[in-house]
Amino acid sequence: MTTTWRIGTRGSALALWQATTVKARLESMGVAPCEIVVIKTDGDRLQDAPLSDVGGKRLFVKEIEDALLEGEIDLAVHSSKDMAVVLPGGLHIAGVLPRADPRDAVVLPETSGLVDATLAQLSEVLGATPRIGTSSVRRVAQLHRQFPGAEFLPVRGNVDTRLRKLDGGDYDALVLAAAGLQRLERGARISGYLPVEACIPAPGQGIVAIECREDAEEITQTLVAMSDRAADLALRAERALVAAVGGGCQLPLGAHCRHTADGGLELIACVTSLESEHEVRALGFGEAEDPEGLGERVAERLLADGAGAILDAVREYDGPLPAQD
């Protein structure tokens, strides 16, 4: 292994924030020097095409994982919700950063001046038929219940590009992950937060994952030592649930795990129909020692209550779909 640890990342502002944060943490532990290697992915190249038309979210990680497997980089930093639940052979998630705010946020045009708005206030300001920009099947499926007359429009590009489109009049509102806005110091643009119960986040939302080769023992040990335990347990529960329902990157699936006052775990999840009001939700509790077991149990409840039929319908649907997030 080289003396310099090469950190692979996409080149977007948010991806570079994530990689730079990991680099600083590693170097503070005495791992130095670290080098950031920017890798352009197909997801970055195909900015104008809906992700559902070009292969889904894994386009944002495939080239980076290939570079990791080929030894061109030593570790990779990702938004965990971009990662497939089944990783390429020989790779694993060895560490995670502390979870940022997992909620979705509503952003109105800069001229609105609205901040800290409740869901009811947002609904009133947006009116009966707002144009809402989001590139997420999950959000569209859940928010149809909150904004029944809304027109949901796809939006691609980095955060600043999306905000420019909003302020330019292309949309009446955007729905984005709060974590990305906050990390890029755009939190002041958030008009209101969607409560987890109103719009259950994407599995892994707000968690930065660090991936490396399974045979890289020193790197693995270092990443395990720097990993945030609370975020790690939540991510393991949420990814286990996705795996158990056979989920992918283009499904209307939300899952969020949080810690309870007694040291246990609580996992809430939902699967929502794209074409009706049908939604299946499940809530489960478990021990911190077995997050995967909790995820599997909650998945079983979803499937037992009819989530499988909704997911099968989405998989067979031949109309246009936005990507998961």
What per-residue confidence (pLDDT) applies to 8?
98
User: Across residues 86-104, what is the average pLDDT?
Assistant: 97
Mean pLDDT of the chain, nearest integer: 91
Q: What is the number of structural domains in the chain?
A: 3
Q: Does one domain contain both 90 and 212?
A: yes
Q: Does one domain contain both 213 and 236?
A: no
Q: Which of 45-59, 121-135, 145-159, 216-230 has the lowest mean pLDDT?
A: 45-59
Q: Does one domain contain both 214 and 79?
A: yes
**For residue 22, which of 219, 160, 235 has the smallest C-alpha distance?**
219
Q: Does one domain contain both 186 and 214?
A: no
More confident residue, 157 or 67: 67
Structural domain includes residue 236: yes
Q: Does one domain contain both 135 and 274?
A: no
Beta strands 34-38; 5-9: pairing state: parallel
Structural domain includes residue 232: yes
What per-residue confidence (pLDDT) applies to 50?
47
CATH number, residue 235: 3.30.160.40
Q: Does one domain contain both 113 and 188?
A: yes
C-alpha separations of 106 from 73, 143, 236 in Å: 37, 11, 27
Q: Does one domain contain both 71 and 214?
A: yes
Task: Please report, rounded to a whole number, the percentage of residues in the chain having pLDDT higher than 90.
Answer: 80
More confident residue, 320 or 113: 113
User: Across residues 115-136, what is the average pLDDT?
Assistant: 95
Per-residue pLDDT band for 121 (boundaries 50, 70, 90) equals very high
8-52 pLDDT, tens digit per residue, is 999 999 999 999 999 999 999 998 799 999 998 755 544 554 444
Choose one of 172, 194, 216: the last residue of a domain. Answer: 194
Q: Of 74, 82, 232, 325, which residue is the catalytic one?
A: 82
Choose one of 194, 217, 251: the last residue of a domain. Answer: 194
Structural domain includes residue 201: no
Range of the domain at 63: 1-97+207-227
CATH number, residue 8: 3.40.190.10
Structural domain includes residue 200: no
Q: Does one domain contain both 49 and 62?
A: yes
Structural domain includes residue 218: yes
Facing residues of 96 across strands?
209
Q: Does one domain contain both 233 and 221?
A: no
**For residue 47, which of 84, 7, 75, 11 has the smallest C-alpha distance?**
11
Structural domain includes residue 202: no
| pTM (two decimals) | 0.91
Structural domain includes residue 199: no
Per-residue pLDDT band for 314 (boundaries 50, 70, 90) equals confident
Q: Does one domain contain both 2 and 54?
A: yes
Choose one of 194, 215, 244: the last residue of a domain. Answer: 194
Q: Does one domain contain both 166 and 89?
A: no
Q: Does one domain contain both 220 and 254?
A: no
| Residue 170 annotated among the catalytic residues of the structure | no
Q: How far apart are CA 24 and CA 96, in angstroms?
A: 14
Per-residue pLDDT band for 266 (boundaries 50, 70, 90) equals very high
Q: How far apart are CA 324 and CA 139, in angstroms?
A: 8
What per-residue confidence (pLDDT) applies to 55?
47
